[in-house]
């Protein structure tokens, strides 16, 4: 269970959020939508402990992550996976090594890495790419590597910030399919900040529509376009 409670945040003199509260249940697939600058990415950064509200609390399974000490926060973050718009792959490492590196820094053994990495690459349909380098991959393939890397510690929560923002529609469709499967088959809670209507309309998540520091719409199995139109009537 994730809880944002009475979140307020200002940037300079401009209020970003005004006493914002909402919950996300374990196992949900949720899309945060709204125009640029409404704070979708900021909410994700709060979940990761990288951003703090001016007032309010952010809880994961009853723990206020804003009150955790750094070692506790680092441990909490191991239960999360993060997917970025720009992939953040290591260009000098192969695809296998990129995924393995996330395990190496956490002290996993060579045997664990040799078993786990091929499993993850198979899950994202990249078994034949493990010896390639990032510059040999398409944008969609790079994002699939990033998803595999985010899954190395079997996260219960996956946070995706504009995961299809740099992709063409066909590659975006593949990323949406993988995210939907991770949610429905592996029961991973997934939160996506996105401007991509095709992604939202395809995977039919719960849709939270933000505007002027508030949630204007909260639709189960929502659609990107219908959600915004409804609020503009």
pLDDT, tens digit, for every residue of 96-144?
999 999 999 888 899 999 999 999 999 999 999 999 999 999 999 999 9
């990249």: which residue's tokens? 126
Evaluate whether 143 touches 175 at the Cβ level (below 8 Å). Answer: yes
The domain spans of the chain are 2-79+155-232, 91-150
- CATH for the stretch 2-79+155-232: 3.40.50.300
User: Residue 230: its pLDDT value, please?
Assistant: 46
Q: pLDDT tens-digit profile of 13-61?
A: 788 998 999 999 999 999 999 988 899 999 999 999 999 999 999 999 8
Give the burial class of 197: count Cβ atoms within 10 A of its Cβ; 0-12 exposed, 13-18 middle, 19 or more buried. Answer: middle
């Amino acid at each position: 269970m994730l809880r944002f409670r009475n979140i307020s945040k200002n940037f300079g003199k401009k209020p970003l959020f005004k006493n914002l509260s909402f919950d996300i249940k374990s196992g949900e697939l949720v899309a945060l939508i709204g125009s640029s600058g409404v704070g979708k990415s900021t909410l994700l950064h709060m979940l990761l402990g990288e951003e703090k509200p001016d007032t309010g609390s952010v809880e994961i399974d009853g723990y206020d992550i804003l009150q955790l000490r750094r070692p506790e926060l680092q441990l909490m973050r191991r239960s999360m996976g993060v997917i970025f718009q720009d992939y953040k792959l290591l260009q000098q490492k192969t695809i296998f090594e990129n995924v393995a590196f996330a395990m190496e820094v956490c002290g996993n053994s060579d045997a664990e890495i040799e078993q786990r990495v091929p499993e993850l690459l198979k899950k994202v349909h990249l078994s034949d790419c493990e010896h390639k380098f990032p510059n040999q991959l398409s944008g969609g393939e790079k994002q699939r590597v990033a998803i595999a890397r985010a899954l190395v510690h079997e996260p219960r929560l996956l946070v995706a910030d504009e995961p299809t923002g740099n992709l063409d529609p066909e590659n975006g469709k593949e990323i949406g399919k993988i995210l939907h499967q991770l949610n429905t088959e592996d029961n991973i809670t997934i939160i996506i900040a996105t401007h991509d209507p095709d992604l939202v309309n395809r995977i039919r998540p719960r849709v939270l529509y933000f505007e002027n520091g508030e949630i204007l719409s909260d639709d189960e199995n929502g659609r990107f376009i219908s959600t915004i139109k409804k609020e503009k009537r």
